[in-house]
Amino acid sequence: MVLISPSKAQRLLAENIREHRLQRNLTQEELSSRSGVPLSTLRKFEQQGVISLESLLKIFMVLDMLERVVEATKVPKPVFNSIDEVIALNKAPKRKRARRT
């Protein structure tokens, strides 16, 4: 179930990053200098939400957010309600690629 569109997510990310920057009392110029992301790119990101993944990760690193972002993308470990579920999972063949649709 998708509750947010990609364009809305871009805007929210940009707003959140701006808030983190301001909370750390950093100017756009300082964040640009520390991250290696051009000032024009940072300004465009904060205004429009448009940025490359590499630049975004550099900004996350300077704002001490990179590890949390990587952690948020990990596949959750399964939760088992019984030993039978554990046994069934261990007997099931491991999938190596995604299913075709």
- Residue 91, domain CATH: 1.10.260.40
49 pLDDT band (50/70/90 cuts)?
very high
Per the structure, the count of domains in the chain is: 1
Q: Tally the residues of the chain.
A: 101
**Residue entry with tokens 């590890």:** 67
How is residue 87 written in tokens?
Answer: 């046994």
Asked if the structure places residue 72 within a domain, the reply is yes
Domain of residue 58 covers 1-96
Measured distance CA(74)–CA(71) in Å, rounded: 5
Average pLDDT over all residues of the chain: 90
In a domain, residue 74? The reply is yes
Q: pLDDT, tens digit, for every residue of 7-22?
A: 999 999 999 999 999 9
pLDDT at residue 65, as a whole number: 97
Q: What is the band of 58 on the pLDDT scale with cuts at 50, 70, 90?
A: very high
Model confidence over 71-95: pLDDT tens digits?
Answer: 999 998 888 888 888 787 777 666 6
Flag whether 43 is in a domain: yes
